[in-house]
């Protein structure tokens, strides 16, 4: 193929790529759901600064879903109230997110009965929270056809739910609870606890008298002082890297 034809083909691909990227960015902006741009979704409440990224996952029963202020709902997040669309769930909200809640990409919150998530709770990608579980009482009937069991879920403020965590019906998490990635939580978890495993168990807990037990293995991060600019932070990072490199090359380490 002649060189000028190759150049023309490459140019077309670059132009097409830029057009597709620009179009996708435009769709992400135009398709996001906010209080001012709810689209077809009519939530019971959606607070100021809250944003559902585009594309959204499955959403229904939104009349019984209340979203607080400044929540971040990532792409492909499922939010449902009720077992199926078009049910009358009564006068009270079924799914309630507090202010500043973050739901990571691909997470699911399935509320057949009440689920509440406290302020400033952050969820990583793929978190699954449900108030309903399949039953298997009848050994002769397919599990999927047996009537499920439901129990309310309460997640306190300030929690962190790691990637792939599962919160089962009836779970009650206290304040500032850490759920490790992939953990499966049922029952009650006290304030300031770290749980891991399937089923999850407490692996670390903070008490006012003793602090963290077992003790933390890493020092607490040093907070950034007020007034520090991004340029200063980059300079400090470069200085730390240079000092580390100098220490690695030092004759004393030979």
18: Cα separation from own chain's centroid: 30
Catalytic residue among 70, 134, 140, 192: 134
Catalytic (active site) residue 134: yes
β-strand pairing of 51-52 with 184-185: unpaired
Residue closest to 104 by CA, chosen among 76, 120, 123, 117 = 123
Q: What whole-number distance in Å separates Cα of residue 220 and Cα of residue 231?
A: 24
Q: What's the distance, Cα to Cα, between the start and end of the chain in Å?
A: 58
Task: List the catalytic residues.
Answer: 134
């Amino acid at each position: 193929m002649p060189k000028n034809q190759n150049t023309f083909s490459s140019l077309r691909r670059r132009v097409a790529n830029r057009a597709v990227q620009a179009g996708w960015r435009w769709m992400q902006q135009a398709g996001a759901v906010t209080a001012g741009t709810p689209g077809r979704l009519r939530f019971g409440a959606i607070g100021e600064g809250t944003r559902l990224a585009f594309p959204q996952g499955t959403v229904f029963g939104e009349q019984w879903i209340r979203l607080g202020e400044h929540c971040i709902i990532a792409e492909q997040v499922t939010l449902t109230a009720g077992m199926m669309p078009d049910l009358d769930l009564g006068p009270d909200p079924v799914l309630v997110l507090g202010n500043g809640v973050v739901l990571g990409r691909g997470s699911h919150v399935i509320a057949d009965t009440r689920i509440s998530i406290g302020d400033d709770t952050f969820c990583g990608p793929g978190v699954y929270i449900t108030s309903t579980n399949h039953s298997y009482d009848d050994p002769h009937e397919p599990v999927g056809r047996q009537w499920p069991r439901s129990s309310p879920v309460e997640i306190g403020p300030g929690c962190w739910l790691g990637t792939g965590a599962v919160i089962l019906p009836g779970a009650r998490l206290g304040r500032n609870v850490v759920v490790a990635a992939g953990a499966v939580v049922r029952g009650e978890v006290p304030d300031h606890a770290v749980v891991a495993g399937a089923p999850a168990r407490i692996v670390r807990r903070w008490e006012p008298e003793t602090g963290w037990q077992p003790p933390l293995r890493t020092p607490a991060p040093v907070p950034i002082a007020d007034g520090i600019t991004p340029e200063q932070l980059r300079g400090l990072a470069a200085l730390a890297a240079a000092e580390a490199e100098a220490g690695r090359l030092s004759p004393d380490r030979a």
